[in-house]
Amino acid sequence: MAGDGLWYKDAVIYELHVRGFYDSDGNGAGEFRGLTLKLDYLSDLGVNALWLLPFYPSPLRDDGYDISDYTNIHPAYGTLDDFRMFLDESHRRGIRVITELVLNHTSDQHPWFQQARSSRENPRRDWYVWSDSVERYKQARIIFTDTELSNWAWDPVSKSYYWHRFFSHQPDLNFDNPAVREAAWEVMKFWFEMGVDGLRLDAVPYLVEREGTSCENLPETHDVLKYLRRRADETFSEKMFLAEANQWPRDVRQYFGDGDECHMAFHFPLMPRMFMAIRLEDRKPIVDIFQQTPEIPATCQWGIFLRNHDELTLEMVTDEERDYMYDEFARDTRAKLNLGIRRRLAPLMEGDRRRVELMNGLLMSMPGTPILYYGDEIGMGDNIYLGDRNGVRTPMQWNGGWNAGFSNADPEQLYSPIISNPVYGYQAVNVESQRRYDHSLLSWTKRLIRLRKSSRVFSRGTMEILKPQNHRVLAYIREFGNERVLVVSNLSSQAQAAELDLKRWKGSIPIEMFGGNLFPPIGDLPYLLTLGPYQFYWFRLRRL
């Protein structure tokens, strides 16, 4: 897997939860052995990196983001040896592995916190953030608005308040304490030494608190990240940090530093705007956000996505935009959660295959590394009757048989009910049936991924947005070295025509990439294209 070290730029990442993927021992939850058995499926799909949700020992009150031991595996998911085996088998297939590093907080069950709360004199006391009053850091917002009323929680043991940005059972670590930084580095080292290729750094904006600020994106927080990056670079090569910073592009830009902080960061504001654009049938939201997106250092890369394990977050939109998104995508108010919508891609697209394809076509052709959420490649549905975000974390649907082929356990024993409604249920939506025919969403997604990986123009190229008069059409040129690709997408539910100003590429021949067919050469006149509802084209522009 040698290269220029920038593997994450050319990656197509698949996000999954080991618990939800495949249960090979019949206890109702997936484990590493099960996941290892499914690596051929993932390799055949064409993804070349996996991002695993937290799998560490945990009381599982935030699905594992509440860690009680950073250097072990939750017994329900297997052992460290199982993990090593999974890692080796992934690498053997050319698949990199990205795991979670939850730095900001631990579980309240973590021995560090247990010691810290045991008495005010305990040497671990200063590993967390304590206060005698709830008046400190008043300007910090509450993130889990549906469950938490304050960022302070009362500790009856040591009779003081501790700081938490997420659930109250997730006390924040105190990164002003050098011992905490050291502990974070030790955890990082442990997983990198084992062979993990990248770490998703959870909730990074909140590492450090300062009075009179929002306690987000502080310079001291960036210092911590730069420190960890320096240590990682001194000790390892080809490792990657992916920042989870749900912030505006200018603020996220800081997490790349001068190429000395995080290699990647999610582009949170782009995601809801892709949904807005397709609903409004107008390219404006997408064009606007790219205009606000600053350049990033050459070794860095955006991580782009449509859906993930959380609610479709609407933190990075205006109040009006949020109302619009709720009106259009969460008419059933059960779909709302915190500042977001807890639905999967296919139901958000009302089961419309053309819209699902268009969204994936945009994802795979825009600048950044695309991240697919497990199950979306077959169009899985969700269950908004389950609590919190559990409705988008149901078992993978492998076939139409017992428990969707996910597990031999009794259905009651499963960690979550399987989706079984007539539209998205496992009898209708599953891997085995979609494998059988060429026109299934699964087969189509495979082709899309293959095409995406066929040229570095997508993973490394620049993007120039064109401005055809018809604003229902989004068109851009991706360029890398002497390769050029024109992407044209009809965001509307009706057929559209667009005239593109392609004068600069006069004499080039557009070759439609899915079929390999030649289109008329580009001449002096505006290039006229017609597109059916939600249709899109990728053209390689070949010079004559």
Binding site for ligand NOJ (CB under 6 A): 62, 65, 102, 166, 202-203, 244, 309-310
Comparing CB distances to ligand NOJ, the nearer of 202 and 261 is 202
Shortest distance in whole angstroms from residue 16 CB to ligand NOJ: 14
Shortest distance in whole angstroms from residue 104 CB to ligand NOJ: 7
Structure tokens at 333: 């108010």
**CA neighbor of 473 nearest in space, from 245, 268, 284:** 284
Comparing CB distances to ligand NOJ, the nearer of 143 and 276 is 143
Comparing CB distances to ligand NOJ, the nearer of 10 and 310 is 310
Shortest distance in whole angstroms from residue 455 CB to ligand NOJ: 31
Comparing CB distances to ligand NOJ, the nearer of 87 and 102 is 102
Structure tokens at 411: 């259905």
Helices (H) and strands (E) in the chain, counts: 16, 21
Shortest distance in whole angstroms from residue 332 CB to ligand NOJ: 22
Q: Which residue is nearest to ligand NOJ (CB)?
A: 65
Structure-derived torsion over alpha carbons of residues 328, 329, 334, 335, reported in degrees to the nearest 10: -160
**CA neighbor of 188 nearest in space, from 134, 225, 146:** 225
Q: What angle do CA 365, 370, 371 make, to 5 degrees?
A: 150
Gap between the Cα atoms of 196 and 444, Å rounded: 30
The question of whether 382 is a catalytic residue gets the answer: no
**Catalytic-role residue among 15, 202, 382, 388:** 202
Q: What is the DSSP string of 153-197?
A: EEETTTTEEEE-SS-TTSPBB-TTSHHHHHHHHHHHHHHHHHT--
**Catalytic-role residue among 31, 209, 216, 244:** 244
**CA neighbor of 274 nearest in space, from 234, 227, 329:** 329
Q: What angle do CA 65, 71, 73 make, to 5 degrees?
A: 70
**CA neighbor of 97 nearest in space, from 49, 34, 42:** 49
Comparing CB distances to ligand NOJ, the nearer of 113 and 166 is 166
Under a CB-based contact definition with an 8 Å cutoff, are residues 112 and 106 in contact?
Answer: yes
Gap between the Cα atoms of 359 and 382, Å rounded: 18
Shortest distance in whole angstroms from residue 240 CB to ligand NOJ: 18
Comparing CB distances to ligand NOJ, the nearer of 203 and 486 is 203
Gap between the Cα atoms of 371 and 309, Å rounded: 12
For residue 521, give the DSSP letter: P
Amino acid at 124: R
Under a CB-based contact definition with an 8 Å cutoff, are residues 269 and 232 in contact?
Answer: no
Helix (H) or strand (E) holding 226: helix 219-235
Under a CB-based contact definition with an 8 Å cutoff, are residues 67 and 102 in contact?
Answer: yes
Shortest distance in whole angstroms from residue 173 CB to ligand NOJ: 12
Per DSSP bridges, beta strands 240-243 and 496-500 are unpaired
Residue carrying the six token digits 């999974």: 86
Under a CB-based contact definition with an 8 Å cutoff, are residues 281 and 311 in contact?
Answer: no
Comparing CB distances to ligand NOJ, the nearer of 103 and 429 is 103
Residue carrying the six token digits 């059916």: 532
**Hey, is 509 helix, strand or coil?**
strand
The question of whether 66 is a catalytic residue gets the answer: no
Shortest distance in whole angstroms from residue 100 CB to ligand NOJ: 8
Comparing CB distances to ligand NOJ, the nearer of 205 and 395 is 205
Shortest distance in whole angstroms from residue 530 CB to ligand NOJ: 41
Gap between the Cα atoms of 94 and 394, Å rounded: 27
Comparing CB distances to ligand NOJ, the nearer of 58 and 293 is 58
Shortest distance in whole angstroms from residue 281 CB to ligand NOJ: 30
Active site residues: 202, 244
